Structure 1
């Protein structure tokens, strides 16, 4: 997928669109420039099998891993997350290959929708000049729209007011106790036939979108787009 970048051309953000530097520096930059908590997760490793070389999660679960290369390595992950660039560099210096995970429900929540619906909604939002925060595109063809924390409690009621049942839409909220993979984290989808790719910015973090929109400002076009997908 190739989504047009719409951030301000005059931004001074140094957050990369693609991986061009050590993950330790990128993680530290998220903490320093965006004030996001960051967490080192698992990563993909090359393994030899009967069918040749393959990539598996460093956790050792093989094809049974629910998020190959992009999940916390420890159960107490919430206490490991840090908003300090200094601490982030120290954590990644111990494991330079670790994925970059961003805990939700702290600085932001994320509205999780299918890629096709996300692209449709994004085009509509841009025509409406709606306020937009960063947006992540994932290897499993999802899009994550960053919004102010607390979206999970609001979405069911907002969707009902728009005439939809929340259970009928492929739209969920990643909030407190959840995470999102940060670009350029490379990971796979579950199962033996894992689809591997990198999280990418469909809309990059910039100085112009430092202040995130409330979920109320995005829910209408997202619900509409998800509703169209559900009746296809």
Structure 2
């Protein structure tokens, strides 16, 4: 199947149980009450998939907003979401951060290390995504991400020295099953379920995540 063809068929993503991007966006709005935004998409040109923004140096091909005032276009209405993706079925599914959730963003290797540790500790976790550029985002309560730099310093780490950032108000992330260039699709490491509807506070995750990021930084410098 060629995901760059037009029409609803093109929005079918392998491994997503036959759901279209439209179905997925509507489900996020209806079931999780997340604001959603239809972003750019991938187009085939001379045998190469490029971003619909036409920038050949686009850093997130097919996975960023289409306009500067994107925040005002994001919607929590399933009806509006259905209209947005009906107009462009292959548009990426973007989730604004700082509204229903913030996201703690870490390297994939550190993320999996911390995830294993938190599961052993039986830490309450929310959804977690994995991106094609090998990053992981841990969903936390909105507004709590602002505490992360303070928490990291309190744990004895320099926030500027470890690869741990927060996506909060004014930011966004690409949601599964959005494809990002030739790298593949964003995936769920921990899917949204009824069990993780209530998100953790950032301070519940910051310790294991900061430790894992610090270890990765030390290993990289060794």
TM-score (norm 1): 0.87
- 2:69 is the counterpart of 1:76: yes
Distance in 2 (alpha carbons) for counterparts of 1:166 and 1:148: 20
Extract unaligned runs of 5+ from structure 2: 1-13
* CA positional deviation for 1:150: 1.4
1:201 matched to which residue of 2?
A: 188
Distance in 1 (alpha carbons) for counterparts of 2:163 and 2:90: 32
Count of aligned pairs between the two proteins: 206
Distance 1:112 1:28, change over 3 A: same
8 Å contact from structure 1 (residues 41, 72) kept in 2: yes
1:57 matched to which residue of 2?
A: 51
Q: Deviations over 1:185-210 (max 9, x none)?
A: 0013xxxxxx5210000000000000
Q: How does 1:207-218 map to 2 (within 5 A)?
A: 207-218=194-205
* CA positional deviation for 1:19: 5.7
- 2:127 is the counterpart of 1:134: yes
* CA positional deviation for 1:54: 1.0
- 2:136 is the counterpart of 1:104: no
1:121 matched to which residue of 2?
A: 114
Distance in 2 (alpha carbons) for counterparts of 1:46 and 1:17: 22
1:11 matched to which residue of 2?
A: none
Between 1 and 2, higher relative CO (CA 8 Å, sep ≥ 6) is seen in 1
Q: Deviations over 1:35-87 (max 9, x none)?
A: 00000000111110xxxx1110011001x112111000011101110001111
2:31 matched to which residue of 1?
A: 33
* CA positional deviation for 1:21: 1.7
Distance in 2 (alpha carbons) for counterparts of 1:81 and 1:100: 10
1:223 matched to which residue of 2?
A: 210
Distance in 1 (alpha carbons) for counterparts of 2:175 and 2:211: 27
Distance in 1 (alpha carbons) for counterparts of 2:88 and 2:44: 16
Q: Deviations over 1:83-130 (max 9, x none)?
A: 011110011101011000000000000000000000000000000000
1:21 matched to which residue of 2?
A: 19
Extract unaligned runs of 5+ from structure 1: 1-15, 189-194
- 2:163 is the counterpart of 1:170: yes
Q: Secondary structure at the match of 1:218?
A: helix
Q: Secondary structure at the match of 2:184?
A: strand
